Amino acid sequence: MQADRDPLAQLEKLKALHDAGAIDDTEFAKMKADLLSAAG
């Protein structure tokens, strides 16, 4: 699925998980950094 490879879509999913309390600030920051480094 194309959306799974879209860094913006993945970042939006991470943000939703963070907002819902499914992941904490530390997990969010690490996952975001990993996502951005893989995208760039």
Cβ neighbours of 4 (radius 10 Å)? 8
Instruction: Identify the band that residue 1 occupies on the pLDDT scale cut at 50, 70 and 90.
Output: very low
On whether the CB atoms of residues 4 and 10 are closer than 8 A, the answer is yes
**CA–CA dist 21, 5 (Å, integer):** 24
Higher pLDDT, 20 or 7: 20
| pTM (2 d.p.) | 0.79
Q: What is the DSSP letter of 1?
A: -
Give 15-27 pLDDT, tens digit per residue.
999 999 999 999 9
* Interatomic CA distance for residues 28 and 7, integer angstroms: 14
pLDDT of residue 5: 79
Tokens, residue 38:
């893989």
Asked if pLDDT for residue 28 goes beyond 70, the answer is yes
